[in-house]
Amino acid sequence: MVITAHFIDSEWNLHKRIFNFCQVANHKGGTIGKIIESCLLEWRIDKVFSITDNASSNDIAISYIMRRLRSWNSFVLDGEILHMRCCAHIINLIVNERLKEMHDSISSVRNVVRYVRSSPKRLTKFKDRVEREKIKCRALVCLDVATQWNSTYLMLDHALEFEKAFKVLEEEESDYVDYFKEGDHGNKRIGPPTIDDWKNVAVFVKFLKVFYDVTTKISGSLYVTSNSYFHELWDAMAKVMVDGIKNYLIRLYDYYKFYDNAQDHHQSESRLTSKSMSMDMDTIDEENFSGSILVLSRYKRRREEQHSLELKNDVDRYLSDPSEELDDNFDVLAGWKANEFKYRVLSKIAQDVLAVPVSTVSS
């Protein structure tokens, strides 16, 4: 098991560090959870914003870590956002459902590709048809890997470029036709592709390309990805995502603002707090204690009222700011670095949120 930490430093540089690389005795959630806990203790890490994971079997391990972090009082929003589901894994589940629906059409194309790639002689004949049909595509057909849907997309996408060449093979090559009369694991081999199969594949490739591009973008490890996930799925879930993100943004602001104020007023607070904490409960003066509680209560109420105004001004001001014209070259970290003093608390939230990898898939 590998544990990799991601964080953004004070200069707004993204860092990625392997903290642990070890064998595990078994895949039980408790075992994995204890290894993660041991790693955190060894590195003296008690603040964990999120854990990205792609296996439902690890839910028990995450639950174990949640209990430990709760005992350490190290939670952000009481652990609601601790478990980040791997977005690439979610996309994989969505795509595979559609792959099942298109099974026959995909299998027919896979079989014609397998026929062409099965021998040098067949591949040479196929190339002759490609030249005769004046197909300009320089790539060759490729087989997919059954466990990787993105390779299925590439196979179908390339095969569509050579549809005419496959049709000529069907008309002229008896071996090609006979290939589909043979048994495949006891069943008749599916194919060759019909006109409808090619139409189905052409439509399906457009569907797959959207998810292929998203998966490619969110699987990077040298740049931040949490902001990409929102934009990539914007069209499908815009309203729901905006409302949800604004809600969490306000709650995060509340959490971070509390600790920011604690640092700003450290000297005045520390005098009062240290006095309260150093009292011996066996000899405490009830009147002085009541007075201290009253001071704390009034101070807390004033801070909450002030905080309410600040939150509305800062968060709403940020959300209503005219957005820059963003493109693929926009550097989100550089953007926040330039605005960290304008949005003092929100920039601290951004540092933690943007460090979150939304996928565990290697780039």
For residue range 225-249, list pLDDT tens digits in order: 766 665 555 555 555 556 667 777 8
Distance CA 351, CA 108 (A): 49
Cα diameter, the chain: 103
pTM beyond 0.85: the answer is no
Q: Of the segments 97-101, 240-244, 341-345, which one has the largest average pLDDT value?
A: 341-345
Query: pLDDT tens digits, residue range 53-72?
Result: 877 668 888 888 888 888 88
With cut-offs at 50, 70 and 90, classify the pLDDT of residue 285: very low
